[in-house]
């Protein structure tokens, strides 16, 4: 009995490893999340305050993945800050997830560009990985129901970002 099943067990084990390897390859090859539910994550700010993405249901969330060593992020900082100031009282939350960075340069970046929206380290690169980001900056606009509405790869203009937000806010009031 054991003898007849043994080759089958060996083949099954080998196939399982091959399938696992193929799955991991497929996942790593697939690009950024473009639609569907945004993966939930815990966001811990530099000041230690912490909350979950799911706590922000009902609001438009703009998640920006950035780093102090990233030059395009410097160009984008004003766009994000202006948008935050214009929309923070209209049901929009901006989050800055600082990817692979150290705290001193990150904090001096925030100070230098007068960033006032919530910012924190992407601990363990969890946000970056769960959104399958490919680099910085990347910006994910998440609608009031927690679905990804728009992804900006690289820096975007104020008009691009704000028209996306406007469309989501208008949809909610309809």
Judged by CB under 8 A, the residue of 4, 47, 89, 124 near other proteins is 124
Question: Is the Cβ–Cβ distance between 126 and 91 less than 8 Å?
Answer: no
Task: For other proteins, give the closer residue by CB, 137 or 146.
Answer: 137
Task: For other proteins, give the closer residue by CB, 121 or 155.
Answer: 121
Please identify, among the stretches 35-43, 100-108, 147-155, 161-169, the one whose residues bind other proteins according to the rule CB under 8 A. 100-108
Q: In angstroms, what is the minimal distance from the CB of 169 to other proteins?
A: 35
Tokens of 6: 């043994």
Question: Is the Cβ–Cβ distance between 148 and 35 less than 8 Å?
Answer: yes
Interface with other proteins includes 102 (CB under 8 A)? yes
Q: In angstroms, what is the minimal distance from the CB of 12 to other proteins?
A: 12
Alpha carbon separation from 106 to 21, 45, 75, 101, 119 (Å, rounded): 36, 12, 15, 7, 9
- The footprint of other proteins on residues 64-93 (CB under 8 A) is 67, 69
Task: For other proteins, give the closer residue by CB, 6 or 112.
Answer: 6
Interface with other proteins includes 129 (CB under 8 A)? yes
Interface with other proteins includes 45 (CB under 8 A)? no
Alpha carbon separation from 134 to 10, 28, 34, 64, 148 (Å, rounded): 37, 10, 12, 13, 16
Q: How many amino acids of this chain bind other proteins (CB under 8 A)?
A: 20
Interface mask toward other proteins for 4-43; x: CB under 8 A: --x---x--x---x--x-----------------------
Residues that bind other proteins (CB under 8 A): 3, 6, 10, 13, 17, 20, 67, 69, 100-105, 121, 123-126, 129
């Amino acid at each position: 009995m054991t003898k007849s099943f043994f080759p089958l067990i060996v083949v099954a084990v080998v196939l399982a490893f091959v399938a696992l390897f193929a799955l991991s390859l497929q996942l790593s090859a697939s690009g950024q999340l473009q639609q569907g539910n945004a993966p939930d994550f815990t966001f811990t700010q530099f000041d230690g305050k912490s909350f979950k993405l799911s706590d922000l249901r009902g609001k438009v969330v703009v998640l920006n993945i950035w780093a102090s060593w990233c030059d395009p992020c410097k160009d984008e900082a004003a766009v994000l800050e202006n948008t935050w100031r214009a929309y923070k009282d209209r049901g929009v939350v901006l989050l800055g997830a600082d990817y692979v960075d150290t705290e001193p340069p990150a904090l001096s970046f925030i100070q230098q560009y007068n960033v006032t929206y919530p910012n924190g380290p992407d601990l363990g690169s969890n946000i970056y990985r769960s959104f399958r980001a490919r680099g910085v900056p990347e910006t994910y606009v998440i609608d009031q129901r927690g679905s990804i509405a728009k992804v900006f790869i690289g820096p975007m203009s104020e008009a691009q970002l704000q028209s996306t937000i406007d469309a989501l806010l208008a949809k909610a009031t309809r």
